Amino acid sequence: MIDIALVGIGKIALDQHVPALKSSDAWNLAATVSRSGKVKGVESHADFDAFLKARPDIRVISLCLPPVPRFDYAEAALRAGRHVMLEKPPGATLSECEKLAELAQSQRLTLYATWHSRAAAMVPAAKEWLADKSLKRLQVTWKEDVRRWHPGQDWIWEPGGLGVFDPGINALSILTEILPDKLHLKNATLEVPENKQGPIAAALDFVHPHGAKVSADFDWRQEDDQIWQIEAVTDAGALLLDEGGGRMFIDGQEHSASAAALSGEYPRLYARMAELLATGACDTDFEPMRHVADAFLLGHRKIVDPFYD
């Protein structure tokens, strides 16, 4: 088994990373680093630099910190000769992400910029189905309740926290994975609460190289049923990815996932990290991040009512 340290013991770490690691035959959660969070029965450290000095034997680091401080931790880990796995988004800026990729390559270390929604059960099947189809129209609808999924996480509204693009980038990670053609953003509208820095909703329009209409609608104010859908109309039928990529319908008929896909998103991420380590490779696709950066560059800001958790 491979020893790994988990850095940043918050909600996502406890809900997803810890169970995935504890259920894996490939990984041993050997230590955690956090100012306040701990995992029962696992060695804990409060200071990352002190941890790196104390445990040179732990060669793999998984970073679950918010995006703004993540770069400093990732750079320190790589310079200390450790392989690094990044929670999404991989950083606060594209420049940070690209610098980490260059550093990992120069150090001959593995860097894995994860996109957990790409590991959803039906994403590979959707990609395969769309590969030889002519796309006519695609609509992303990603609407959820921020109070339910990110309670009290003030950092998510600050610069670098992405606002509604924190979940929206999950949709973009699926979109850029399943489409055979590369898109670029044409325009965007960002709805920003008057008491926040980050947007609470966003509407995006993309340019498709063959003229298909591609758009996305993100909203953090969805109080009833949560909606995570991608609908694609092609020359050979219509595809619906529902429940964040967990279910797929072709012309209304549901297709089932393989047993491996049903194991869960985060177990599949850690299986991928083990593969990268075995081959000495990196996986650093920053395309979803690029679309978010373009949205902030091109987006028309519309100030809306204040929002309170």
Structure tokens at 133: 């189809």
264: left (phi over 0), alpha (psi -120 to 50) or beta: left
Contact 78, 99 (CB under 8 A): no
> Judging by DSSP bridges, how do beta strands 27-33 and 43-45 pair with one another?
parallel
Classify residue 41 by burial, with Cβ atoms within 10 Å: 0-12, 13-18, 19+. exposed
| Residue 15 CB coordination number (10 Å) | 11
Cα–Cα distance measured from residue 2 to residue 281, given in angstroms and rounded to the nearest whole number: 16
Catalytic residue among 22, 38, 53, 88: 88
φ/ψ of 195, rounded to 5, equals -105, 15
Cα–Cα distance measured from residue 270 to residue 276, given in angstroms and rounded to the nearest whole number: 10
φ/ψ of 75, rounded to 5, equals -65, -45
Told to judge if 88 belongs to the known catalytic residues of this protein, a careful annotator would answer yes
Angle between helix axes 287-298 and 165-178 (nearest 10 degrees) is 130
Residues annotated catalytic, as ranges: 88
